[in-house]
Amino acid sequence: MTAASGGSRIVALLRISAPGRDTTPSVRSWCSCGRDLVAFGQRKAVALIADHARHRAVCPLLTEGREAA
Protein backbone atom coordinates (compact mmCIF):
# COMPACT_ATOMS: atom_id res chain seq x y z
CA MET A 1 0.00 0.00 0.00
CA THR A 2 1.13 3.52 -0.51
CA ALA A 3 0.69 6.44 1.83
CA ALA A 4 -0.58 9.87 0.80
CA SER A 5 3.02 11.12 0.73
CA GLY A 6 3.82 8.55 -1.97
CA GLY A 7 5.91 6.30 0.28
CA SER A 8 5.27 2.72 1.25
CA ARG A 9 3.91 1.68 4.62
CA ILE A 10 3.05 -1.60 6.26
CA VAL A 11 -0.71 -2.04 6.66
CA ALA A 12 -0.88 -5.72 7.61
CA LEU A 13 1.66 -8.22 8.85
CA LEU A 14 1.75 -11.96 9.42
CA ARG A 15 4.70 -13.15 11.51
CA ILE A 16 5.29 -16.92 11.66
CA SER A 17 7.81 -18.45 14.03
CA ALA A 18 8.53 -22.15 13.64
CA PRO A 19 11.82 -22.56 15.48
CA GLY A 20 12.40 -26.28 14.94
CA ARG A 21 11.69 -29.79 16.07
CA ASP A 22 9.94 -30.31 19.42
CA THR A 23 9.13 -26.61 19.83
CA THR A 24 5.85 -24.72 19.66
CA PRO A 25 5.20 -22.63 16.54
CA SER A 26 3.61 -19.21 16.96
CA VAL A 27 1.86 -16.78 14.63
CA ARG A 28 1.00 -13.10 15.02
CA SER A 29 -1.55 -11.44 12.75
CA TRP A 30 -1.47 -7.64 12.88
CA CYS A 31 -3.30 -4.97 10.89
CA SER A 32 -3.37 -1.20 11.26
CA CYS A 33 -7.19 -1.41 11.56
CA GLY A 34 -6.64 -2.61 15.14
CA ARG A 35 -6.32 -6.36 14.64
CA ASP A 36 -3.60 -7.94 16.79
CA LEU A 37 -4.00 -11.70 17.30
CA VAL A 38 -1.50 -14.33 18.44
CA ALA A 39 -1.73 -18.14 18.28
CA PHE A 40 0.52 -20.83 19.74
CA GLY A 41 0.66 -24.46 18.61
CA GLN A 42 0.44 -25.98 15.15
CA ARG A 43 -3.35 -26.30 14.88
CA LYS A 44 -4.06 -22.77 16.17
CA ALA A 45 -1.24 -21.30 14.07
CA VAL A 46 -2.62 -22.82 10.86
CA ALA A 47 -6.10 -21.53 11.73
CA LEU A 48 -4.78 -18.00 12.34
CA ILE A 49 -2.87 -18.01 9.04
CA ALA A 50 -6.12 -18.85 7.22
CA ASP A 51 -8.00 -16.20 9.21
CA HIS A 52 -5.35 -13.60 8.33
CA ALA A 53 -5.86 -14.36 4.62
CA ARG A 54 -9.63 -13.91 5.03
CA HIS A 55 -9.08 -10.63 6.90
CA ARG A 56 -6.92 -9.28 4.06
CA ALA A 57 -9.81 -9.88 1.68
CA VAL A 58 -12.33 -7.88 3.73
CA CYS A 59 -10.40 -5.23 5.70
CA PRO A 60 -11.35 -1.73 4.47
CA LEU A 61 -7.75 -0.53 4.85
CA LEU A 62 -6.55 -3.26 2.50
CA THR A 63 -9.42 -3.27 -0.02
CA GLU A 64 -10.03 0.44 -0.62
CA GLY A 65 -7.64 0.62 -3.58
CA ARG A 66 -8.79 -2.65 -5.15
CA GLU A 67 -12.35 -1.45 -5.74
CA ALA A 68 -11.23 1.26 -8.14
CA ALA A 69 -9.04 -1.07 -10.18
Specify if 69 maps to a domain: no
When divided into structural domains, the chain yields a total of 1
Specify if 2 maps to a domain: no
pLDDT at 7: 65
Specify if 6 maps to a domain: no
Specify if 51 maps to a domain: yes
Distance CA 30, CA 13 (A): 5
pLDDT at 36: 97
Q: Is 2 exposed, middle or buried (0-12, 13-18, 19+ CB in 10 A)?
A: exposed
Specify if 32 maps to a domain: yes
DSSP 6: S
Cα–Cα nearest to 31, from 46, 51, 11, 49: 11
Measured between alpha carbons, how far is residue 25 from residues 4, 9, 14, 28 in Å? 37, 27, 13, 11
> pTM value?
0.75
Specify if 46 maps to a domain: yes
Per-residue pLDDT of the chain (69 residues; tens, 9 = 90+): 444 455 677 889 999 998 888 899 999 999 999 999 999 999 999 999 999 999 999 998 887 765 544
| Domain range for 40 | 12-63
pLDDT at 61: 87
